[in-house]
Amino acid sequence: MVRVQIIASREDIDAATKAVLSFSQFQPEEPKYPISITKLEYARLKLPNIIEHISKIEMIMDLGGLVRSTYGRMDVTNWLNTTSEVEGNASKIEEKYSNILQEVGKIEAELESTITYIKELEPIKDITVPLEALYNSRLFDILIGKIDKEKFETINQNDDLAIYYVEGGKELYVMIIGESNSVQIKKIIESGVVKKIDVPEELPRVPSEAYNFLLKRKSELESALNSIKGRASADIRKDKELLYELYGKLLTVRDALTLLSKARVSEYFVQIEGYIPKKFEKKLREGLNKVLSGEFQFSVEWPKRYSDEEPPSLVSLPKGLKPLASLVEMYGSPSYWEFAPTAFLIITFPIFFGLMFPDFGNALVLFVFAIWFYRYGKRKGSENIVDLSLVLIYASIAAMVTGLIARAFFGPLPVGGLRELDVSNSVGPLYSIWPLPVSVPRAIYFLLPFGEYSNPLISVPDAIILSVGIGTIVLFLSSLIGVLNAAKKRDLEYLIYEKLPYVIIYAAPFILFMYGFSNISTFFTNIEQLLGGIEYAIIPSGSPPPTATLARVLVWLVIVGLLYNWGGKAAITKTVEKQSTLTSIIFGFIEGAFEGALLLLSNTISFIRILVFAMSHYYILFAFSYMGYLVAGSPSSTLSVLTNPLAILVIIIGNLLAIALEGLVVFIQDLRLHFYEMFGKFYEGKGRKFEPVSTYVELI
């Protein structure tokens, strides 16, 4: 990424703006050394109006069920005149639908308010007397309200009060009962810790009646909103072409004004600055040459590593893989000197998901849902929904592959049949026609240690080793990339004291797992023998095993790494935070040695979740399949179970639960393995995303 400066004749300001927008790889910035203090005020003043028009046009398009799309062309000779013209056209179509927009806005506002009241009254919906009657009781003081969970203990210590509560998200809904004229309740009210709940005056005074009234009103408002949208949809669709063209022009004008609002002008010149990818420098220069009438100055500056300015970061990926970058953006944008972890995600995210969700049928349903979700995102014009749905598509495809290998299709019955449930020798209807034979999952039993082809006594321990082994590889690579990032940043202190110790610490489990490849035919046995050697190195007993020497090296490698980490953290505490020597040693031990040892164990063992979630997914479906078998009367034929209506219902319920709950949990756990275990070793994510201005219609 390089910073470019364009200084051209003021007469060429509109042509230069067109060229930069058509270039589509330019992020405008405030000039570092402005040629004057004069800005184009019209650009700064009109930009908020254009953004408001864009919002209203999007509302109209959404109201008509239109996909947010753009096309058309726009003739621009003067951006100020073009802006005024586009504003006028936008105002005309907004005026045409103003009554509908106002009506919809009014209903949506009331609907939102109604939903808020419903949530507020949800915990007290079963109270059938007016709250005033409770609050004005002669025998007791009663307070019903909300309190933050973190503050709950401040009121829960009083033995003179009866306190009842229910969960409410981040808050607790509480009923506090004390004696009449209770001093404690008065103190709680005065402190403001508990927010008192009351029924709004315009509603029935009894909470149960108010709650039912609000539910009915919510239904009425939703019905009215759908009715209005239905009536408006036909008219809006007639203006589809006009809306698409206007939307494209508004977006283009927005980007043009963004560029112009950052430019500086003098009596004769205009100055435009911004960032572009280095490889497009020649293309921008040639584009300006074609449209500018006079001479112009084009200068390029490489970003300085130690400057206060953070250049934007652009992660170049094939179009089909760009949605995976959205997951990285959830953690933070990469700095220009950082290794972007998207390369990790491309490989590991789908693989981890597939290993944790191995069922072809369930993954197929998830795939279909992801396609629907993608179309919904396209219709709403939401890039986030589109990106998330594409990530889900990739993950579900990986899960279909592992499900195909595992010979799993909506649980064990359709393929393995009752034989897999170990109640009969009857196989499923798909057993013989399944694309992959039983020999395939038997050959890779350590990846998917369940089903009729697995032996839990052998396959589960090996699967644990493999899961942890995957963790040792990615953790070592992550810590190694952390060192490379620190070197690229040219931060010697960060490199020596923060990153190098973790490479040494995580090298030991990595070498342990790699030792298994010394003889691939006895892979798991090799690792088990070395683990035995490590046990001997820590607690010597009997004669030393053949792996004792390597085991001692690995143990000392961890010890040296932890001591190094202790010293590094102590040095940072001493030099950066200016703490005393004793304080630095204590905090260095806690953060470096003690916490480092805990992280080594927890981060590595954490990858067992790959196995745990795979097995939990399988056995949830196994359990519902067995219940289906029992409901069907425990027949000896698999087909009898699969044709029994009650059994089918039980199996469907089990699969829906597995898809909805397991699918969500696995997705979250997959993210956790990347965000916490992996990214935390090398990725800061404190950069800023490259956001270039562009044109959304053809400029002529």
Q: Give the span between the Cα atoms of 437 and 428, in whole angstroms.
A: 14
Report pTM: 0.73
Pairing of strands 269-276, 264-265: antiparallel
Is the alpha carbon torsion for 59, 64, 68, 73 positive or negative? negative
Q: What is the pLDDT of residues 529-539, one digit of tens each?
A: 998 889 888 88
Give pLDDT, residue 305: 54
Express as a percent the part of the chain with pLDDT over 70: 97
Candidate from 328-337, 386-395, 625-634 with smallest mean pLDDT = 328-337
Query: 623-678 pLDDT, tens per residue?
Result: 999 999 999 999 999 999 999 999 999 999 999 999 988 888 999 899 888 888 88
pLDDT in tens, 611-631: 889 888 999 999 999 999 999
The two most distant CA atoms of the chain are separated, in Å, by 93
pLDDT, one tens digit per residue, over 293-311 is: 777 888 888 776 545 677 8
The answer on pLDDT for 561 being more than 70 is yes
* For the ranges 154-168, 266-280, 444-458, the one whose mean pLDDT is highest: 266-280
Reported as a pLDDT band with limits 50, 70 and 90, residue 457 is low
Q: What is the pLDDT of residue 455?
A: 65
The pLDDT tens digits of the residues spanning 539-551 come to 888 788 888 899 9
pLDDT class of 181 with cuts at 50, 70, 90: confident
Which pLDDT value is given to residue 603?
Answer: 87
Q: Is 90 exceeded by the pLDDT of residue 45?
A: yes
The pLDDT of residue 489 is 78
Tell me what pLDDT residue 356 has.
92
Question: Considering only CA atoms, which of 129, 141, 137, 143 is closest in space to residue 174?
Answer: 143
SS (H, E, C) 137-203: CCCEEEEEEEEEHHHHHHCCCCCCCEEEEEEECCEEEEEEEEECCCHHHHHHHHHCCCEECCCCCCC
Question: Which of the residue ranges 115-129, 150-164, 677-691 would you say has the lowest mean pLDDT?
Answer: 150-164
Helix (H, G, I), strand (E, B) or coil at 376: helix
CA separation, residue 369 to residues 366, 373, 520, 621 (Å): 5, 6, 41, 20
- Lowest mean per-residue pLDDT among 329-333, 553-557, 589-593: 329-333
In whole numbers, what is the pLDDT of the chain averaged over residues?
87
Q: pLDDT band at 92, cuts 50/70/90?
A: very high
* Residue 454 reports pLDDT greater than 80: no
Residue 464: CB atoms within 10 A of its CB come to 18
Return the exposure string of 141-174: e unless at least 16 CB atoms fall within 10 Å of the residue's CB, then b.
bbbbbbbeeeebeebeebeebebebeebeebbbb
346 — pLDDT class (breaks 50, 70, 90): confident
- Neighbour tally for 279: CB within 10 Å: 10
pLDDT category, 195, cuts 50, 70, 90? confident
Residue 337 has pLDDT above 90, yes or no: no
Task: With a cut of 80, say whether residue 160 has pLDDT above it.
Answer: no
Chain-centroid distance, C-alpha 554: 37
Nearest to 528 by CA among 468, 465, 475, 471: 465
Give yes or no for a contact between 114 and 253, defined as CB atoms under 8 angstroms apart. no
Separation CA 677–CA 681 (nearest Å): 7
pLDDT at 575 > cutoff 70: yes
The pLDDT of 157-178, averaged and rounded, is 78
Mind listing the domains of the chain with CATH numbers? 2-98+234-301 (no CATH), 129-205 (3.30.70.2750)
